[in-house]
């Protein structure tokens, strides 16, 4: 029975998705550190709240603090026919289990000739904005998107968080599901439908410049677009939703209309996914561009603990506005 669309926060949308997955998918189970014991019993941001109460601790499991063991165990479980959803408290901690992610989960289907799949979802969060400092605030999506065999989702709205997570558990490839810690309490409409990977969203229609951005920088880009509109500049804002698979066709079509491109992300600008999007457009839509594309990203520095310094490191609304004016100059 379909549900009526509802406005809710991102963490509640994710929680609803997990409830629905566990109800609909007997092979699915949830595991992670403190997911039933922290605060209100839903992990540090409430996403797993009340799951254990409904589905029991055989399907919603608190685990020891060992990311290497958790990732390897979840990978093995996925290869044996289950659909684990593993929560890593912060994406920064995933480094402790990179062998399990990169050398095992991502490569097993290939190395064993397709004899088994690895339908693993690793849920975690990244990004800045709440003063978590250098080891709890990184944006690591480019690292994951670079690895063959991984799918990477970066939801920017509550509706996308629900829909992408519902789809993630159905894929037969390992998925890195990156939430943004500063968006958990943002509200938006959720239609309770799965959302296939590789379908970008046009968040705002425009005619003069294309802005491609994710998560917190997407939200700032929409604010920047309003400022630019007051000056007669019409910005089209695109949310990729997933970085692999990624939907370049929507970007090509937009650039063909606007002739200008700005790409922004919270990850460090150098070697970031924004450069990949710019390269794709330059290689395949060069004749549609009226000016050189511009890319924005974080400064090449660890994220500072100071919230004032943190705000300077990450692309701001003013920096997005300036980037658009630069490409239109």
Residues assigned a catalytic role: 136
* Buried b / exposed e along 124-148 (16+ C-beta atoms within 10 A): bbbbbbeebeeebbbbbbbbbbebe
Burial class (CB in 10 A: 0-12, 13-18, 19+), 310: buried
CB atoms within 10 A of CB 301: 11
CA pair distance 34, 93, nearest whole angstrom: 14
Residues pairing with 264 in the sheet: 213, 296
Q: What is the DSSP letter of 277?
A: H
| Best CA proximity match to 296, nearest among 186, 199, 203, 220 | 220
CA pair distance 52, 62, nearest whole angstrom: 10
* Contact by Cβ (8 Å): 83, 147: no
63 φ, ψ (degrees, to nearest 5): -130, 165
| DSSP H or E run through 268 | strand 261-268
* Contact by Cβ (8 Å): 195, 219: no
């Amino acid at each position: 029975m379909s549900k009526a669309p509802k406005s809710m926060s991102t963490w509640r949308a994710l929680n609803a998705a997990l409830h629905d997955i566990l109800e609909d998918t007997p092979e699915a189970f949830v595991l992670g550190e403190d997911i039933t014991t922290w605060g209100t019993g839903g992990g540090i941001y409430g996403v797993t709240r009340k799951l254990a109460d409904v589905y029991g601790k055989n399907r919603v499991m608190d685990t020891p603090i060992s990311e290497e063991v958790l990732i390897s165990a979840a990978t093995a479980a996925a290869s044996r026919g289950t659909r684990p959803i593993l929560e890593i408290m912060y994406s920064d901690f995933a480094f402790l289990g990179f062998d399990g992610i990169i050398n095992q989960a991502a490569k097993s289907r290939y190395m064993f000739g397709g004899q088994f799949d690895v339908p693993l979802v690793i849920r975690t969060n990244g990004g800045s904005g709440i003063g978590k400092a250098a080891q709890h605030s990184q944006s690591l999506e480019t690292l994951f998107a670079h690895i063959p065999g991984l799918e990477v989702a970066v939801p920017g709205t509550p509706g996308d968080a629900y829909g992408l997570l519902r789809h993630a558990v159905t894929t037969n490839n390992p998925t890195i599901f990156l939430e943004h810690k500063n968006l958990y309490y943002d509200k938006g409409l959720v239609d309770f439908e799965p959302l296939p990977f590789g379908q970008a969203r046009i968040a705002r229609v425009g005619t003069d410049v294309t802005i491609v951005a994710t998560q917190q920088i997407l939200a700032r880009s929409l604010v920047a677009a309003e400022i630019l509109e007051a000056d007669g500049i019409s910005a089209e804002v695109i949310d990729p939703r997933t970085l692999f698979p990624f939907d370049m066709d929507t970007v090509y079509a937009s650039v063909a209309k606007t002739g200008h491109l700005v790409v922004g992300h919270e990850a460090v600008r150098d070697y970031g996914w924004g450069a990949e999007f710019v390269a794709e457009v330059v290689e395949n839509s060069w004749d549609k561009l009226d000016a050189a594309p511009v890319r924005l990203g974080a400064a090449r520095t660890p994220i500072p603990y100071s919230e004032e310094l943190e705000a300077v490191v990450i692309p701001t609304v003013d920096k997005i506005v300036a980037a658009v004016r630069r490409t239109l100059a």
